Amino acid sequence: MPEIPVTSITICMGSSCFSRGNSRNIEVVQEFLKAQNLPPAVALNGHLCEGHCKSGPNVTINGKIYHEVDPIVIIGLLNHFVPKP
Cβ at position 15, least distance to ligand FES in Å: 6
Binding segment for ligand FES (CB under 6 A), chosen from 3-11, 24-32, 52-60, 72-80, is 52-60
Asked if 48 contacts 13 with a C-beta cutoff of 8 angstroms, the reply is yes
DSSP string of 6-39, one letter each residue: -EEEEEE-SHHHIIIIIHHHHHHHHHHHHHTT--
Considering the complex, state which of residue 50 and residue 73 has its C-beta at the smaller distance from ligand FES.
50
Interface residue list for ligand FES (CB under 6 A): 12, 14, 16-17, 49-53, 56, 58
